[in-house]
Amino acid sequence: MIDFTTPFFTIYNSYQIFINKFKVNYFKIQNQNEKSVDNSNAQLIEQSQIEPCRSCTDFQTFNRMRRQEYSQTQVPLVPLESNKKETKRIEKQRDDCPLDKDELGRSTWKLLHTIAATYSDKPSAEEQCNTEQFIKLLPKVYPCETCANDFSEILKYHQPDVSSQKAFAHWMCEVHNMVNKKLKKPLFDCSKVNERWRDGWIDGHCD
Ligand SMILES: Cc1cc2nc3c(=O)[nH]c(=O)nc-3n(C[C@H](O)[C@H](O)[C@H](O)COP(=O)(O)OP(=O)(O)OC[C@H]3O[C@@H](n4cnc5c(N)ncnc54)[C@H](O)[C@@H]3O)c2cc1C
Protein backbone atom coordinates (compact mmCIF):
# COMPACT_ATOMS: atom_id res chain seq x y z
CA MET A 1 0.00 0.00 0.00
CA ILE A 2 1.22 3.48 -0.86
CA ASP A 3 1.75 5.76 2.14
CA PHE A 4 0.70 9.26 0.99
CA THR A 5 1.73 10.87 4.25
CA THR A 6 5.49 10.24 3.71
CA PRO A 7 6.04 12.87 0.97
CA PHE A 8 4.00 15.30 3.01
CA PHE A 9 6.24 14.79 6.09
CA THR A 10 9.37 15.01 3.95
CA ILE A 11 8.22 18.34 2.51
CA TYR A 12 7.11 19.54 5.95
CA ASN A 13 10.49 18.60 7.49
CA SER A 14 12.40 20.39 4.73
CA TYR A 15 10.22 23.44 5.30
CA GLN A 16 10.96 23.36 9.06
CA ILE A 17 14.71 23.08 8.42
CA PHE A 18 14.50 26.05 6.03
CA ILE A 19 12.55 28.13 8.55
CA ASN A 20 14.99 27.33 11.36
CA LYS A 21 17.98 28.21 9.22
CA PHE A 22 16.26 31.44 8.21
CA LYS A 23 15.58 32.29 11.87
CA VAL A 24 19.20 31.61 12.88
CA ASN A 25 20.58 33.76 10.06
CA TYR A 26 17.97 36.49 10.56
CA PHE A 27 18.75 36.88 14.28
CA LYS A 28 22.47 36.65 13.61
CA ILE A 29 22.18 39.62 11.24
CA GLN A 30 19.94 41.46 13.72
CA ASN A 31 22.50 41.01 16.50
CA GLN A 32 25.32 42.12 14.27
CA ASN A 33 23.35 45.22 13.33
CA GLU A 34 22.66 46.00 16.98
CA LYS A 35 26.33 45.63 17.78
CA SER A 36 27.33 47.84 14.90
CA VAL A 37 24.82 50.48 16.01
CA ASP A 38 26.30 50.37 19.52
CA ASN A 39 29.81 50.66 18.14
CA SER A 40 28.97 53.55 15.90
CA ASN A 41 27.34 55.33 18.85
CA ALA A 42 30.42 54.75 20.96
CA GLN A 43 32.55 56.06 18.14
CA LEU A 44 30.34 59.10 17.78
CA ILE A 45 30.55 59.80 21.52
CA GLU A 46 34.29 59.30 21.43
CA GLN A 47 34.58 61.61 18.46
CA SER A 48 32.52 64.28 20.17
CA GLN A 49 34.67 63.91 23.29
CA ILE A 50 37.89 64.39 21.40
CA GLU A 51 36.58 67.21 19.23
CA PRO A 52 39.34 69.75 19.81
CA CYS A 53 38.18 73.14 21.05
CA ARG A 54 40.93 75.47 22.12
CA SER A 55 38.87 77.91 24.15
CA CYS A 56 37.09 75.15 26.12
CA THR A 57 40.23 73.25 27.11
CA ASP A 58 43.63 74.07 28.47
CA PHE A 59 46.58 74.03 26.10
CA GLN A 60 48.04 70.68 27.24
CA THR A 61 44.71 68.86 26.93
CA PHE A 62 43.97 70.46 23.58
CA ASN A 63 47.34 69.31 22.27
CA ARG A 64 46.83 65.80 23.63
CA MET A 65 43.39 65.57 22.01
CA ARG A 66 44.70 66.80 18.68
CA ARG A 67 47.58 64.35 18.84
CA GLN A 68 45.17 61.54 19.65
CA GLU A 69 42.93 62.55 16.76
CA TYR A 70 45.78 62.73 14.28
CA SER A 71 47.30 59.46 15.43
CA GLN A 72 43.90 57.79 14.93
CA THR A 73 43.71 59.03 11.36
CA GLN A 74 47.34 57.98 10.84
CA VAL A 75 48.29 61.48 9.75
CA PRO A 76 50.53 62.89 12.46
CA LEU A 77 50.49 66.67 12.69
CA VAL A 78 54.17 66.77 13.55
CA PRO A 79 56.62 63.91 14.05
CA LEU A 80 55.93 63.32 17.73
CA GLU A 81 57.44 60.22 19.27
CA SER A 82 60.31 60.16 16.82
CA ASN A 83 61.33 63.71 17.62
CA LYS A 84 61.35 64.65 21.31
CA LYS A 85 62.61 68.18 20.59
CA GLU A 86 59.62 68.83 18.36
CA THR A 87 57.31 67.51 21.10
CA LYS A 88 58.89 69.91 23.59
CA ARG A 89 58.54 72.77 21.13
CA ILE A 90 54.79 72.34 20.70
CA GLU A 91 54.20 71.67 24.44
CA LYS A 92 55.42 75.21 25.20
CA GLN A 93 52.66 77.63 24.41
CA ARG A 94 53.53 80.41 22.01
CA ASP A 95 52.08 83.88 22.35
CA ASP A 96 51.09 84.26 18.69
CA CYS A 97 48.53 81.41 18.70
CA PRO A 98 44.79 81.31 19.40
CA LEU A 99 43.97 81.30 23.12
CA ASP A 100 43.24 78.13 25.07
CA LYS A 101 40.77 78.08 27.99
CA ASP A 102 43.34 79.11 30.62
CA GLU A 103 44.89 81.90 28.58
CA LEU A 104 41.43 83.19 27.69
CA GLY A 105 40.48 83.04 31.39
CA ARG A 106 43.63 84.86 32.53
CA SER A 107 43.17 87.57 29.89
CA THR A 108 39.48 88.00 30.75
CA TRP A 109 40.17 88.28 34.48
CA LYS A 110 42.85 90.87 33.70
CA LEU A 111 40.28 92.88 31.75
CA LEU A 112 37.54 92.46 34.37
CA HIS A 113 39.73 93.36 37.36
CA THR A 114 41.18 96.32 35.47
CA ILE A 115 37.68 97.58 34.62
CA ALA A 116 36.83 97.26 38.32
CA ALA A 117 40.12 98.94 39.34
CA THR A 118 39.43 101.98 37.16
CA TYR A 119 35.72 102.20 37.98
CA SER A 120 34.44 105.50 39.40
CA ASP A 121 34.26 106.06 43.13
CA LYS A 122 30.93 107.76 42.52
CA PRO A 123 29.53 106.23 39.32
CA SER A 124 26.61 107.85 37.48
CA ALA A 125 23.38 105.90 37.04
CA GLU A 126 24.30 105.35 33.37
CA GLU A 127 27.79 104.06 34.27
CA GLN A 128 26.31 101.66 36.79
CA CYS A 129 23.74 100.44 34.30
CA ASN A 130 26.31 99.93 31.48
CA THR A 131 28.72 98.09 33.76
CA GLU A 132 26.05 95.80 35.14
CA GLN A 133 24.81 95.06 31.61
CA PHE A 134 28.36 94.29 30.47
CA ILE A 135 28.91 91.77 33.27
CA LYS A 136 25.53 90.13 32.67
CA LEU A 137 26.16 89.86 28.92
CA LEU A 138 29.60 88.33 29.35
CA PRO A 139 28.41 84.70 29.74
CA LYS A 140 26.26 85.08 26.62
CA VAL A 141 29.32 85.66 24.45
CA TYR A 142 32.11 84.00 26.45
CA PRO A 143 33.77 81.42 24.18
CA CYS A 144 34.14 78.65 26.81
CA GLU A 145 30.66 77.21 27.22
CA THR A 146 31.19 75.43 30.57
CA CYS A 147 32.82 78.52 32.04
CA ALA A 148 29.98 80.72 30.73
CA ASN A 149 27.25 78.44 32.09
CA ASP A 150 28.85 78.27 35.53
CA PHE A 151 29.42 82.03 35.56
CA SER A 152 25.73 82.56 34.70
CA GLU A 153 24.81 80.46 37.73
CA ILE A 154 27.13 82.52 39.94
CA LEU A 155 25.56 85.75 38.65
CA LYS A 156 22.06 84.52 39.54
CA TYR A 157 22.95 84.54 43.23
CA HIS A 158 25.62 87.26 43.25
CA GLN A 159 24.34 90.31 41.41
CA PRO A 160 27.14 92.69 40.40
CA ASP A 161 27.66 95.40 43.02
CA VAL A 162 28.40 98.45 40.90
CA SER A 163 27.67 101.05 43.57
CA SER A 164 31.33 102.19 43.90
CA GLN A 165 34.89 101.28 42.84
CA LYS A 166 35.61 99.59 46.16
CA ALA A 167 32.35 97.62 46.07
CA PHE A 168 32.77 96.56 42.44
CA ALA A 169 36.43 95.53 42.84
CA HIS A 170 35.49 93.51 45.91
CA TRP A 171 32.54 91.87 44.12
CA MET A 172 34.82 90.94 41.20
CA CYS A 173 37.34 89.44 43.60
CA GLU A 174 34.64 87.37 45.27
CA VAL A 175 33.23 85.93 42.05
CA HIS A 176 36.76 85.17 40.84
CA ASN A 177 37.30 83.33 44.12
CA MET A 178 34.14 81.30 43.49
CA VAL A 179 35.65 80.13 40.20
CA ASN A 180 39.00 79.54 41.96
CA LYS A 181 37.23 77.44 44.57
CA LYS A 182 35.49 75.35 41.92
CA LEU A 183 38.85 74.80 40.18
CA LYS A 184 40.55 74.04 43.52
CA LYS A 185 42.90 77.00 43.10
CA PRO A 186 44.11 79.12 46.05
CA LEU A 187 41.70 81.85 47.13
CA PHE A 188 42.81 85.44 46.79
CA ASP A 189 42.77 87.80 49.79
CA CYS A 190 40.15 90.33 48.62
CA SER A 191 41.40 93.02 51.01
CA LYS A 192 44.41 93.27 48.64
CA VAL A 193 42.46 93.51 45.38
CA ASN A 194 43.26 97.20 44.77
CA GLU A 195 46.94 96.59 45.52
CA ARG A 196 46.98 93.82 42.92
CA TRP A 197 44.94 95.53 40.19
CA ARG A 198 45.03 99.31 40.80
CA ASP A 199 47.83 100.67 42.96
CA GLY A 200 50.56 98.04 42.75
CA TRP A 201 52.02 96.17 45.73
CA ILE A 202 53.10 98.10 48.82
CA ASP A 203 56.66 96.77 48.52
CA GLY A 204 56.91 98.80 45.28
CA HIS A 205 57.91 95.98 42.94
CA CYS A 206 55.38 97.12 40.34
CA ASP A 207 56.66 100.73 40.32
C1 LIG B 1 34.16 84.29 33.97
C2 LIG B 1 35.15 83.14 33.93
C3 LIG B 1 34.73 81.85 34.22
C4 LIG B 1 35.63 80.79 34.16
N5 LIG B 1 35.20 79.52 34.39
C6 LIG B 1 36.05 78.48 34.25
C7 LIG B 1 35.59 77.15 34.40
O8 LIG B 1 34.41 76.90 34.64
N9 LIG B 1 36.49 76.14 34.23
C10 LIG B 1 37.81 76.39 33.93
O11 LIG B 1 38.57 75.45 33.81
N12 LIG B 1 38.26 77.66 33.81
C13 LIG B 1 37.42 78.69 33.95
N14 LIG B 1 37.88 79.97 33.80
C15 LIG B 1 39.33 80.20 33.65
C16 LIG B 1 40.01 80.21 35.04
O17 LIG B 1 39.32 81.05 35.96
C18 LIG B 1 41.45 80.71 34.98
O19 LIG B 1 41.50 81.96 34.31
C20 LIG B 1 42.40 79.77 34.29
O21 LIG B 1 42.32 78.49 34.87
C22 LIG B 1 43.85 80.27 34.43
O23 LIG B 1 44.13 80.35 35.83
P24 LIG B 1 45.39 81.03 36.46
O25 LIG B 1 45.81 80.16 37.61
O26 LIG B 1 46.40 81.40 35.45
O27 LIG B 1 44.89 82.41 37.13
P28 LIG B 1 43.54 83.20 36.99
O29 LIG B 1 42.48 82.55 37.82
O30 LIG B 1 43.23 83.44 35.54
O31 LIG B 1 43.90 84.59 37.67
C32 LIG B 1 44.74 85.54 37.03
C33 LIG B 1 45.40 86.38 38.12
O34 LIG B 1 44.39 87.02 38.88
C35 LIG B 1 44.78 87.13 40.25
N36 LIG B 1 43.69 86.59 41.03
C37 LIG B 1 43.39 85.30 41.31
N38 LIG B 1 42.26 85.22 42.01
C39 LIG B 1 41.83 86.49 42.20
C40 LIG B 1 40.73 87.06 42.85
N41 LIG B 1 39.82 86.32 43.47
N42 LIG B 1 40.60 88.39 42.85
C43 LIG B 1 41.50 89.17 42.25
N44 LIG B 1 42.56 88.71 41.60
C45 LIG B 1 42.74 87.36 41.57
C46 LIG B 1 46.06 86.37 40.43
O47 LIG B 1 47.10 87.32 40.49
C48 LIG B 1 46.15 85.54 39.15
O49 LIG B 1 47.46 85.32 38.75
C50 LIG B 1 37.00 81.04 33.83
C51 LIG B 1 37.40 82.35 33.55
C52 LIG B 1 36.50 83.39 33.59
C53 LIG B 1 36.94 84.80 33.25
What is the full per-residue pLDDT of the chain (207 aa) written as tens digits? 445 555 544 555 555 554 455 444 444 434 444 333 333 333 433 444 545 677 777 767 766 776 666 555 554 444 444 455 555 545 566 789 999 999 999 999 999 999 999 999 999 999 999 999 999 999 999 999 999 999 999 999 999 999 999 999 999 999 999 999 999 999 999 999 999 999 999 999 998
> CA quadruple 162, 165, 167, 171: dihedral positive or negative?
positive
Question: What is the chain's alpha carbon radius of gyration, rounded to the nearest angstrom?
Answer: 32
Task: Report yes or no on 66 lying in a domain.
Answer: no
Nearest CA to ligand 1 atom 40: 173
What pLDDT is recorded for position 159? 97
Q: pTM to 2 decimals?
A: 0.71
Task: Report yes or no on 53 lying in a domain.
Answer: no
CATH of the domain at 113: 1.20.120.310
Task: Report yes or no on 83 lying in a domain.
Answer: no
Residue-number span of the structural domain to which 188 is assigned: 102-197
> Quick one: DSSP state of residue 1?
-
17 Cα to the center of ligand 1, angstroms = 71
Would you say the CB of residue 173 lies under 6 angstroms from ligand 1? yes
Task: Report yes or no on 59 lying in a domain.
Answer: no
Task: Report yes or no on 111 lying in a domain.
Answer: yes
Would you say the CB of residue 56 lies under 6 angstroms from ligand 1? no
Task: Report yes or no on 18 lying in a domain.
Answer: no
Quote the number of domains for the chain: 1
Q: What is d(CA 123, CA 107) in angstroms, rounded to the nearest whole number?
A: 25
10: left (phi over 0), alpha (psi -120 to 50) or beta: alpha
Q: What is d(CA 112, CA 109) in angstroms, rounded to the nearest whole number?
A: 5
Task: Report yes or no on 87 lying in a domain.
Answer: no
Task: Report yes or no on 167 lying in a domain.
Answer: yes
* Terminal Cα distance for the chain, rounded: 122
What pLDDT is recorded for position 95? 83
